Structure formats: structure tokens, C-alpha cells
Amino acid sequence: MAISKKRKEALVRQYAEMLERSTGVILASFSGTTVKDLEGLRKKIRESGGEFHVVKNSLMDLAFRQAGYQLAEEYLIGTTAVGFAGEDVSAVAKAIVELAKQTEALRVKAGVIEGRTYGGGQVEQFADLPPLNVLRARLLSVVQAPAGRMAGVLGGSVRQIASVLKAYSEKVAAPAA
């Protein structure tokens, strides 16, 4: 069924807007994937704050160009579905890669993360990273560790000075009694 020119223009605008809102996108080939699997994937991606859409290659190419991205032609051949990530790109990548491992029908083509294009293998490696909130917690603990040690050292020094002063005051007070 042919799509009208107005509908095509609206889809290109919609895709371009989603690209601008997204911190990253993951492109996948879904030929042979069941509707049930795709619906489960959509649900997982939605839970992580993203969206998953089956797209028309020529319209997605126009949207990438409008958004200022230059994408290799090989990534927009065959069936294409795009996972648009809200804040957590790794969660979207992880959901797509997990389904790709479960079913050979889904294959990761590429990813565009913060303006850089990555191949399918690189996206799969990216998906192995822990979620964003875990990475933030790890970074925070690394940053806080030296401060905690410094507070312990300073606290110990203050306690020692207080003990010395107390002992001295007791010594001075003892002969007077």
C-alpha cells in the first residue's frame, strides 16, 4: 500500500524529532521475528524510557539527514526497526541485544550514540555495560572514597589532640587538689 506524500513528510518530521530527543538510537534488522517478540521488546524499551519503531528506510534516511547525521547506506538496507533511547541508551541496547541472542531473526545493524555511529558488534559490547544508574553509583563511590578516608584521618587527629588536652588538664588539675 502506497503512503501519501503528506504522510511521508509527517513520518520524516516525527523520526527527526525522535532523533533530536534521543541520546542514542539502535538500528536492527527484524526479518523473521515474531510479532509477539517485537511487542515484548517494545514493552521493555518503553519501561526504560525509550521507543521502538519499525521504519521505512528511505524516510529514516531523510530524518537522519535532517537531524544532521550521516549514516552509511548499508545500515538502511532490508527490514529496519529503530530503538530510540530516552536517557539510558544502554538499557535500550541491552533489550535489543538480549532478544537478538534469543532469536537469530533479530540482528543489530548499528547504533548512533551521542552523534557517533557504531557498528553492530560495538553496540553489542556497549549493551554489556551496567545500567546508567549503576555506573553513576560506582563513580560516586570512587569519588567519595578519598573524602571518607580524609575525614577519618582528620577525625582521628582531632581525637588524639582532644585526648592529649584532656590528659594535660587532668594532670594540671591533679596537683592543685
Helix, strand or coil, per DSSP, at residue 112: strand
Q: What is the pLDDT of residue 175?
A: 63
In the sheet where 24-29 sits, what is the strand order?
51-55, 80-85, 24-29, 107-113, 116-119
At residue 163, the pLDDT reads: 79
Distance, CA of 162 to CA of 63 (rounded, Å): 69
Decide if 126 contacts 111 (C-beta within 8 A). Answer: yes
Which residues of the chain, if any, have pLDDT below 50? none
The grid coordinates of residue 9 equal 513528510
User: What pLDDT sits at residue 125?
Assistant: 84
Q: Could you tell me where the DSSP H helices lie in 53-131?
A: 57-67, 89-102, 120-127
Interatomic CA distance for residues 123 and 128, integer angstroms: 9
Using a cut of 0.75, tell me whether the model's pTM lies above it: no
Query: What pLDDT shows up at residue 96?
Result: 92
Residue 79: what pLDDT?
Answer: 92
Q: How far is CA 110 from CA 72, 158, 165, in A?
A: 10, 57, 68
